[in-house]
Amino acid sequence: MDVYEAVTSRRAVRGFTDRHIPKDVLKRVVAAAAWSPSGSNLQPWNSYLVTGAPLAELKKRAGERVAAHDAWDEREYEMYPPELKSPYRERRSAFGHERYSALGIAEGDWEARQRTASANWDCFGAPAALFCYIDRKLGAPQWADVGMYLQTVMLLLRGEGLHSCTQMAWSVYRKTVAEVLSPPEGLTLFCGMSIGYEDVTVPYVRTGRAPINETITFVDG
Ligand SMILES: Cc1cc2nc3c(=O)[nH]c(=O)nc-3n(C[C@H](O)[C@H](O)[C@H](O)COP(=O)(O)O)c2cc1C
């Protein structure tokens, strides 16, 4: 697949079929993603690729917490600043509108929104997931490195005909993830990523992007 096609066909897919993903495909993707760049080649990503019984167990445990309205685990990092300033605030609400209107959920129907969001902890039905940790002692530049790594994984998945959804949502149940994965001390769970073949019956609205002149300035000579 052409790199432009990989970039433009990648989107956060929130509905997957249970079609099995061959192990060698997933291994090929994560082996190639290891070539992602990082400052001084620190390679600060610590990932777990989870399928089969362990993923089923994780979904089950997380689902039980959702059903019990269990409090979220205390945060290890802020997903967003508490006061999201303009233009980010507007972009976030535009995203919420796109996401929920596609599913016919009315503005302000918080219960339906919550019900929809709870599919995060079932990985939207995906048969595979990647959980990405970073060492607590590392800083913002290394978190940026991890972002590049995750995007590389997502683009390679497109090359294999697969889709994905990165999910900070998993960080709210990080203790449950840790129960199943037993990561070493000192790591912070940044996010999960659902991986699978798209269920094309799930409706969605393609998220828009800010006009290009809002996010890039061309300085011509
Ligand atoms: C770091 C990160 C965390 C995200 N967390 C979630 C999440 O928890 N749940 C979810 O449904 N989507 C999540 N997303 C997907 C974003 O909402 C999505 O990428 C954004 O709205 C742009 O849409 P697109 O990826 O379809 O182009 C996340 C994306 C990123 C990059």
Residue that wins the pLDDT comparison between 114 and 149:
149
Question: Ligand 1 centroid to 167 CA: how many Å?
Answer: 6
For residue 132, the enclosing domain spans 3-77+119-203
Residue 15 lies in a domain: yes
Query: To which residue do tokens 């393609």 refer?
Result: 206
Burial 2-25 (b: 16+ CB within 10 A, else e): eeeeeeeeeebbbbbeeeebeeeb
CB-ligand 1 contact for 14 (6 Å cutoff): yes
Torsion, Cα of 14, 18, 19, 21 (10° steps): 80
Give per-residue pLDDT as tens, 150-206: 999 999 999 999 999 999 999 999 999 999 999 999 999 999 999 999 999 999 989
Give per-residue pLDDT as tens, 65-106: 999 999 999 999 999 999 999 999 999 999 999 989 888 998
CB-ligand 1 contact for 163 (6 Å cutoff): no
Residue 107 lies in a domain: no
Residue 87 lies in a domain: no
Give per-residue pLDDT as tens, 166-182: 999 999 999 999 999 99
Q: What band does 21 get if pLDDT is binned at 50, 70 and 90?
A: very high
Q: What crossing angle do the helices spanning 110-117 and 88-101 adopt, rounded to 10°?
A: 80
Res. 221: pLDDT tops 90: no
Average pLDDT over residues 109-131: 94
Residue 135 lies in a domain: yes
CA nearest neighbour of 73 among 84, 65, 81: 65
Residue 85 lies in a domain: no
Burial 119-144 (b: 16+ CB within 10 A, else e): bbbbbbbbbbbbbbbbeeeeeeebee
How many angstroms separate the CA atoms of 47 and 157, rounded? 15
Q: What pLDDT score does 139 carry?
A: 97
Q: What band does 56 get if pLDDT is binned at 50, 70 and 90?
A: very high
CB-ligand 1 contact for 167 (6 Å cutoff): yes
Q: What pLDDT score does 108 carry?
A: 86
Residue 69 lies in a domain: yes
Residue type, 200: V
How many structural domains does the chain have? Answer: 1
Residue 131 lies in a domain: yes
Q: What band does 33 get if pLDDT is binned at 50, 70 and 90?
A: very high
CB-ligand 1 contact for 166 (6 Å cutoff): yes
Question: Ligand 1 centroid to 95 CA: how many Å?
Answer: 10
Could you tell me the CATH number of the domain that includes residue 196?
3.40.109.10
Q: What pLDDT score does 102 carry?
A: 86
Contacts of 36 (CB under 8 A, 6+ apart): 43, 45, 145, 148, 149, 152
Residue 218 lies in a domain: no
